Amino acid sequence: MIFKGFCYLAIENIGVKGAVYMCDNIGSSEMNCELKVVNMSEEAFNDALFFSKKIAETENLFEQYRYKRASLVFFCVSAEARLNSLILENLKKIVLITSLKEKDKEELETWLGMLTNEKENEVPKGYSTIVLRLNRFLLKSINMRAVRKNDEQIPEFEKYVKLSNVRNAVAHYSYRNFKQAYKEIDMWINDAPDIIQNLFSKYYELVEDNELYYTKDVTGNKQSLDEFLKWFIKREPWVIE
């Protein structure tokens, strides 16, 4: 029997990346396969730029709103795919630090267990809220210092939260969201690339400055800022090979 199909192979320690085998003649004595590395964050950011560009290519109002909604959603998909990857990468490293307090170590190991268990849908309490994912889970995965409600907030995080709120206004639309979903969406699409770039620039800065439980040799930035940001600094869609 000859047919076409594909299978997905997860690769450890590759962050938001994975690999897809595209195979012909599955089940026969000869099978030709091509391995493609995939990266949801990069692909979604490229999608967002693609749909953003399509907005100007039509005068039809409803087509424009279609592209605006798609662009906004994909910008957030890209940012949060990368965010989730960074949290997971950091947790895998920080739980190995011997100077962690036992209570902290148990908490981080619990988070790590939940986020790596593909059979369970449960995530750590509060993880689904972008405010907590940034101010608690991301920050504690860097240096164990969460930002609480009454603390001084991080402007780059706050700006992304606002962008995410507009995405939610579209994804969970009700009449009270009309202003965000229809009148303010253009502004947020225009600002989204810079908001996301600034978010991850701030993350890079925080990792560089961390001094608490580990050194840069253990969990620090091994890439330059431009290399780390890579696709987030692009402003035109591109062909992914």
Confidence of residue 31 (pLDDT cuts 50, 70, 90): low
**Phi then psi dihedrals of residue 190, to 5 deg:** -65, -35
**How does the average pLDDT of the chain come out, rounded?**
85
Q: Which of 132, 74, 141, 80 is nearest to 110 (CA)?
A: 141
Chain segment 124-179, per-residue pLDDT in tens? 999 999 999 999 999 999 888 888 877 889 999 999 999 999 999 999 999 999 99
Please give the model's pTM, rounded to 2 decimal places: 0.86
Provide the pLDDT for residue 221: 64
Other CB atoms within 10 Å distance of the CB of residue 69: 18
Chain segment 115-135, per-residue pLDDT in tens? 988 767 788 999 999 999 999
pLDDT exceeds cutoff 70 at 27:
no
Confidence of residue 14 (pLDDT cuts 50, 70, 90): very low
74 burial type by CB count under 10 A (0-12 exposed, 13-18 middle, 19+ buried): buried
Provide the pLDDT for residue 122: 84
The answer to whether the beta carbons of residues 51 and 67 sit under 8 Å apart is yes
